[in-house]
Amino acid sequence: MCGLRKNAIPRLRNGKSKNNSSLIYLDTRTPFTQIENYLRSKSWLFAAERILSVEKPGEGNMNVVLRIQTDQRTFVLKQSRPYVQKYREIAAPLDRIEVEHRFYQIVQDENLEKHFPKILGYDPNEFILLLEDLGQCEDMVSCYNKRTIAPKVLNQLLHTLNKIHQKKPPSDFPENLAMRQLNHQHIFVLPFLEENGFELDKVQPGLETLAAPYKKDLALKKTVGNLGEKYLSKGNTLLHGDYYPGSWMSKEAVIYIIDPEFSFVGFAEFDLGVMVAHLIMITMDCSYLEHIYNGYQGKADKKLTAQIAGVEIMRRLIGLAQLPMQRSLDEKQLLLQSAKQMILS
């Protein structure tokens, strides 16, 4: 994990005015009776239903995520906090859970619903979303060190993204600007600052030296800055906003997509570029740009897709949001060189 010096990250205001101290915070340490009382107050438990266990289904980056097992079923409770769960020194908007709820509502149709968890309940006052438990899925971050992704899986991922982008976003879909501003800092700004507080040699000895030339490249930084401005602008396509293996899960040959809290209405090339970037990092094969572009059913600019892919590769290698990916410095150098070429060509 990247070492982070305090005060290195800009603070952002939360998206809701409710006093944070008045929120009900639920986690694995909360007594079962307290959780049961809350769930009953929302009519989310059956009459005689009792909680048997509460556990974390995985390592949540942004939010508190709990798998709750009762004597009748299991389900997932997700709650946003006024900070990033993994990096609590970084402020984050509470109403990101509303964005996730709205996104899941939109994709609950015959073409997409099998790829997303069903909504069981939503409490906007406590920023809690209750979801179907997808069960024992395979977390697709394992693809990084397997260095491969099955063609059938890739086809499902692209098919699902096509269907998401074909949905007409409602006019009142949340702008999600605070989350985009947070993401903007970590994608387009902080990784390219010479003094950003990221101690990259704690990730991998020699990585700081490897990153240095890219942080000093003015032409590169200018282009990345322009792409960042576009990211913050308005678009017309419903985006997942974080379409990478950490949001992909598989079970019995079905692909599931989770964690759309970064969703917004923007330009299609952002989702496409992020997807391409991670396919390239998994396989070390740049031909996936052509494959995804050719398989996309909507309108997209190939150059812009490549540029976003290049930025995503760079920020994952020299930014705070490191991946569970074992690569040598030589391999990372090749990836960084390819990413720069994609951004500037």
The predicted-structure confidence for 224-263, as pLDDT tens digits, reads as follows: 999 999 999 999 999 999 999 999 999 988 999 999 999 9
Alpha-carbon span 50 to 38, nearest angstrom: 12
Mean of per-residue pLDDT scores for the chain: 92
Give the pLDDT band (50/70/90) at residue 10. very low
List, for residues 256-270, the tens digit of each pLDDT value.
999 999 999 999 999
pLDDT at 88: 82
pLDDT at 19: 53
pLDDT at 38: 96
List, for residues 115-174, the tens digit of each pLDDT value.
999 999 999 999 999 999 998 898 899 999 999 999 999 999 999 999 999 999 999 999
List CB contacts of 93: < 8 A, sequence separation 6 or more.
12, 13, 14, 15, 16, 80, 82, 178, 179, 182
The model's pTM is 0.91
6 vs 33, residue with greater confidence: 33
Alpha-carbon span 92 to 186, nearest angstrom: 13
User: What size, in residues, is the chain?
Assistant: 345
Give the residue among 191, 201, 204 at the shortest CA–CA distance from 340.
191
Buried b / exposed e along 270-308 (16+ C-beta atoms within 10 A): bbbbbbbbbbbbbbeebebbeebbeebeeebeeebbbbb
List, for residues 278-308, the tens digit of each pLDDT value.
999 999 999 999 999 999 999 999 999 999 9
Give the Cα-Cα-Cα angle 45, 49, 50 (nearest 5 degrees).
110
DSSP assignment letter at 201: G
Residue 3 · residue 202 · CB < 8 Å: yes
Q: What domains lie within the chain, and their CATH numbers?
A: 3-132 (3.30.200.20), 138-344 (3.90.1200.10)
pLDDT at 9: 39
List, for residues 18-61, the tens digit of each pLDDT value.
555 568 999 999 999 999 999 999 999 998 999 999 999 877 67
